[in-house]
Structures are given as C-alpha cells and as structure tokens.
Amino acid sequence: MSDKSSSNAMWGGRFASGPDAIMEAINASIDFDKRMARQDIEASRAHAAMLAKQGIITDSDAKAIREGLLTVLSEIENGTFKFSKALEDIHMNVESRLKEIIGEPAGRLHTGRSRNDQVANDFKMWVRDQLDAAIGGIDALTAALLDQAEAGADMVMPGFTHLQVAQPVTWGHHMLAYVEMFARDKSRMQDARKRMNECVLGAAALAGTSFPLDRDMTAEALGFDRPSANSLDSVSDRDFALEFLSAASICATHLSRFAEELVIWSTVQFKFVTLSDRFSTGSSIMPQKKNPDAAELIRAKVARINGSLVGLLTVMKGLPLAYSKDMQEDKEQVFDAADSLMLALAAMAGMVADMTPNKPELEIAAATGFSTATDLADWLVRALNMPFRDAHHVTGTLVKMAEDGNCDLPDLTLAQMQSVCPEITEAVFDVLGVHNSVNSRTSYGGTAPANVRAQIKRWREELG
C-alpha cells in the first residue's frame, strides 16, 4: 500500500483521492513535529494503559500497543524509521507504523482521544522538557558567574551609567548582577512549568468523550499535577508555549546584554577581559584580530527568539475556540527558539568560565572619571553634617578644580579642597581611593567585598 493510499485509509471514506502536492506540502507537519516522537509515544503508552484499566480495551491489546510503541520508538531513535509526509504528522506516522507491527489492535489506541488533545499534550510535554533543560542551562551559567564573582570579590572596576564612569564597584558585584537576572529567568521558567503542568489527554476533539476515561491516571503517569478542567480550553490553549517563549525572550535579552558588555570589554580600548581562544575567532585578512564572535552571535540570538514570540502571538490572536489548523504553525517557532536559547546559554557559560579579567586595567579605569565624587559628597554629609544638596555643589566645584588641573580628586591637596570648603579635614582622603569606596558600600545589596562574599555563599547554598 502506498503512503497516499495508507493516509486515505486512515482518514476513512470521506476522501476518495489523496491531496495534490501543494495541499500535501502545506498540510504536513512531519518535517518538524517529528521532534515530539518520544513525547507522543510516551503519552500513547499511558493512554493505552488507562484504556485497559478502565475496561475500554483488553489487557492483551494494551500490551501489544505498549510493546509495539517501544519498537516504533527504537526505530526512530536508531534512525531506521521512515517518515512519510503523506501521513502528515508524527501522530499518524507512529500509528501507521504501529499498525504494520501489531495489526488490528493498533486501531484501538485512538479510542477516547483526538489529534487535537493528542498534539496539545505532546507539545506541552515537549515544552516542559525544554523548560527543564533551560533551567539546567541557567544553573550551569550561574555556577560559572559565581566562580568569577568569588575570584574577583575584591577586584575593583568602574561601574557605569550611560556608559560613563559613575562609581567604583567590584568585579564580583558585577558578576552577581547577572546571577540575579538569570535567577529571575529561572524563576519565570519554574513558574511557567508549574502553571502548564495539566494533562490535556481526555479533552478529545473539543467536548470531551463519552468513554469512561480515568484522566487522573493518565495525568499521573505522565508527570502532570492534574488533568485540565475545560475541554474547549484544553485543545485551544497555547499559553504554555507563549510563556516559554516569553521567558526565553527575557532570558535571551539578559544574555544579549552581557554579550554586549563582553564585546566592549574585550576591545583594545577597554582591555577589561581576555576571552579564550575557544570562544573567539581570527580575521581572514588582519592577523592581529581576535574577534568575540561567540558573544556577537549570542547577542543576535535574541532577535530570533523575540521573533518567535511575536510570531506565535500573532498566530493565536485571532483564533476562535477551539482548534484551528493555524495552530500547526506553533511548533517551528518554539523549536527554533528553544534551540537558540540552549545554544546561547551553553556558549555564555563557556565564555564566562574561560574569560580572564584584567585586574590592573580594571583598577585604573575604576579610578578615572572622578568615580569617587559621590564618596566625597557622602563624606561631607556624614562628617560635616552638610545638607546633601550643598555637598553635591561643593563636590561639583572640586571636580571642576581637578578637571582644570588635569588630575583626579585624590590628587588635590588639602589646601585646594579647603579653598572651596574650609571645614574639610585630612580624613577626607580615607574615602577617596577606589578600594575605600567599594569597602564603604556595605548597605544590603551594595558592592562591598564582604557583601559580595555573603551573596556568593547564599547563592551557592541555594543552588546546592
């Protein structure tokens, strides 16, 4: 029997002839949804076990189905399975092959379900697996960031606003900023996973089924918390995919921001970090070049992931309940975004683990641009009880004096400072060095090395 006639047989007598090549091409999804083969087979095995337990099919048929499905999975995993576009999708491909293996009992597998609840459930299981993988990728990146933070807890560097030197911070504090970002990404993914963890099987086409299914049994077998509560919503919902894409987009944005910093920091103008050869490339014409290509490619991945989110939002925005064929366009975008996110997470974890901060250059840069001006203003408030706005004005005058003298604030003499504010004492110099500055920032969440070490300890305990 040809693929086309086999497809017609599975559809039944409604279609007397197969679709032409154009319809086959636009209707088929097997080229991409075959990635859900494992989830499809796992769900079908659970469904068959439940049907037998409920007396809807015999135990012998259920056993044949479950064992036959394992054979199909083995063929798919070892590359001997022949996928047919005429059979449209992974569900029909699996069922067709199952019938070739076990015969008539294969036709009983689809009792009490539809491709509508089947595909929604398979897709949800696939996205759930991807959330778990992404969480693991974030944990690996976080561990690399914590190692960098610990190694540079006392290392000073410039903190920026508007990409202008603002105040000194520690390298460890900067690394921990990204730990906080990626921890929120992990939390979003965990939250999305929890919310989506409802089993769709049993919703059937859109209205449920008259068969006495035990949906709780199927849900438990597949690791879901509960069955979904509304059959219409169950088959038409793709919120779980949208939430995954949303969380992925935010995470990719964080990766892109860090990638941008690495691109800037690795330039000869900054010289803040050296990236390893494993994550850099050379130039085909300029032998001196060492390009941060991995960081640049990570920076670009956010465009693909954001595009996937907007694409699926646009697909879903105009669909009435319940299922529409438009929803076949949900998977490729999610698959692509998942691949891009996992690659970006792995590449960033590798770059962070391998990169070397340039301590002397970082310290020199931290001391430029009058970075301790705020420390001076704060000292005037604390030591002289000066209103902050007045302290701000005095400090600004001293910055102008230093700028005119082509020096930094710590290079001014006490006499020069007292010419602006006679009450200033020698004690002011205790706060003007960059190390003094970061050591003084002990407020919770501040950059002081002691704070950095405490946060590292907290995060390591949390990660286990």
Banded model confidence at residue 14, pLDDT cuts 50, 70, 90 = low
Q: Which of 65-69, 166-170, 438-442 is the most confident on average?
A: 65-69
**Under 8 Å CB-to-CB from 303, ≥6 apart: which residues?**
none
Quick one: 158 exposed, middle or buried, by C-beta within 10 A (0-12, 13-18, 19+)?
Answer: buried
DSSP state of 278: G
Using the predicted structure, report yes or no on whether residue 170 has a pLDDT greater than 60: yes
Banded model confidence at residue 287, pLDDT cuts 50, 70, 90 = very low
378 compared with 254, residue with greater pLDDT: 254
First-to-final CA distance of the chain: 57
Contact (CB, 8 A) for 250 and 188: yes
Average pLDDT estimate for 117-135: 97
Q: What is the pLDDT of residue 30?
A: 81
Contact (CB, 8 A) for 183 and 143: no
Give CA–CA dist 142/139, Å, rounded: 5
Using the predicted structure, report yes or no on whether residue 290 has a pLDDT greater than 50: yes
Using the predicted structure, report yes or no on whether residue 284 has a pLDDT greater than 90: no
Average pLDDT estimate for 288-315: 90
Give CA–CA dist 73/206, Å, rounded: 28
**Least-confidence region, from 27-31, 135-139, 224-228, 439-443:** 27-31
Q: What is the pLDDT of residue 4?
A: 47
Q: Which of 114-118, 285-289, 329-333 is the most confident on average?
A: 114-118
Banded model confidence at residue 178, pLDDT cuts 50, 70, 90 = very high
Banded model confidence at residue 5, pLDDT cuts 50, 70, 90 = very low
Element (H, E) at 157: strand 156-161
In angstroms, the Cα distances linking 366 to 76, 110, 164, 434 are 57, 67, 11, 7
**Under 8 Å CB-to-CB from 333, ≥6 apart: which residues?**
245, 307, 308, 309, 311, 312
Using the predicted structure, report yes or no on whether residue 58 has a pLDDT greater than 80: yes
Cis previous bond, 322, omega within 30? yes
Average pLDDT estimate for 257-274: 95
Q: How do strand 356-357 and strand 273-274 relate by DSSP bridges?
A: antiparallel
Average pLDDT estimate for 140-159: 97
Chain centroid offset of residue 78 CA: 30
Q: What is the pLDDT of residue 1?
A: 42
Give CA–CA dist 178/261, Å, rounded: 12
Structure token digits, residue 140? 């690996």
What predicted TM-score, i.e. pTM, was given to this entire model?
0.88
Query: What b/e sequence results for 309-323 when a residue is b if at least 16 CB atoms lie within 10 Å of its CB, and e otherwise?
Result: bebbeebbeeeeebb
Q: What is the pLDDT of residue 2?
A: 45
Give CA–CA dist 339/245, Å, rounded: 12
Name residue 360's amino acid. Answer: P
> pLDDT for 406-437, tens place per residue?
888 888 999 999 999 999 999 888 888 899 88
Name residue 280's amino acid. Answer: S
Could you list the active site residues?
162, 283
Q: What is the pLDDT of residue 370?
A: 81
